[in-house]
Structure 1
């Protein structure tokens, strides 16, 4: 009985060993892809852009010069909190898992080849600037949209209140 159990365990381990080796190889390939994509630097750029967006919002709040130090301290704390809680060291593992789950080995290899090419390297180099520009466009559009969204929300609130008033009368 012990020999049979031992044989089964050895057999199972021999069958699963290539799977684990394949998974380890796949994970290493995904890690290499994330390095080629400079995902860590992209995250740093996003944090920098977030800092800029916070400053832009604060500028719209008409911060007084006497409040500037308080605002700067708050700004630094927000950026540090986000960086600490969602820094690349914490995101890398889950991001690698997502890539490994959603892409085949061939797709990962193809992406890696692209990001190691001159065009891929150019894309990686230009992506932070492109991200910043697209965020500026988005923020501008959101600022223009906010009054309309506020009006829609106010209208909805009135309609909801009227509907509830009507329902309570019945």
Structure 2
């Protein structure tokens, strides 16, 4: 559960921009190599991230996730400063901006980036950005609730599988 909020922060950062599927093949979790991008493409990616309020959304999401974690586990309040320092170091906008610019510049053409930025400047685009943190939070709650409701089924399936598995030798 402690890693859930880190994943959530990453998703929340990119959620308003998830208008198209990735065209990059899976890399098995490894970051894609930096590909040279044009100055125009870089500028367009930065403008898109600005139009999507990525920096502000990330900060709000981090605050909400930390508050949620502390609410669920009050003992974490004692380590909140360390958690914030860690997040600031590795997950803050200043730490992630270049990676995000590269990501969007790799996935979209300069023209597409400009069109997306233009969309996020429209009334419906602004509404999408404003509603996205609330929608992401509600979606996570739905997912958590469904997982908790059906956890016994998973536990039973795992227990049954373990009964049929031969014990492994541990050296």
Scaled by the length of structure 2, what TM-score is found? Answer: 0.68
Deviation at 1:161, TM superposition (A): 2.6
Q: In the alignment, which residue of structure 1 is the partner of 2:41?
A: 26
Out of 153, 157, 165, the position equivalent to 1:152 is: 157
Out of 104, 129, 136, the position equivalent to 1:124 is: 129
Compared with structure 1, are the counterparts of its residues 83 and 153 closer, same or farther at alpha carbon in structure 2 (3 Å cutoff)? farther
37-46 or 153-162: which moved more?
Answer: 153-162
Q: In the alignment, which residue of structure 2 is the partner of 1:111?
A: 116
Out of 31, 56, 65, the position equivalent to 1:41 is: 56
43-52 or 131-140: which moved more?
Answer: 43-52
- Aligned partners of 1:157 and 1:102: how far apart in 2? 42
Runs of 4+ that moved beyond 6 A? none
Aligned length: 134
Compared with structure 1, are the counterparts of its residues 79 and 143 closer, same or farther at alpha carbon in structure 2 (3 Å cutoff)? farther
Contact 1:47 1:83 in 2 (8 A): no
Out of 135, 141, 161, the position equivalent to 2:146 is: 141
Deviation at 1:83, TM superposition (A): 3.5
Q: Which runs of 5+ in 1 are unaligned?
A: 1-19, 59-67, 166-170
Supply the RMSD in Å over aligned alpha carbons: 2.3
**Greater helix share, structure number:** 1
| Bigger Rg over Cα | 1
Compared with structure 1, are the counterparts of its residues 141 and 49 closer, same or farther at alpha carbon in structure 2 (3 Å cutoff)? farther
Q: Which runs of 5+ in 2 are unaligned?
A: 1-35
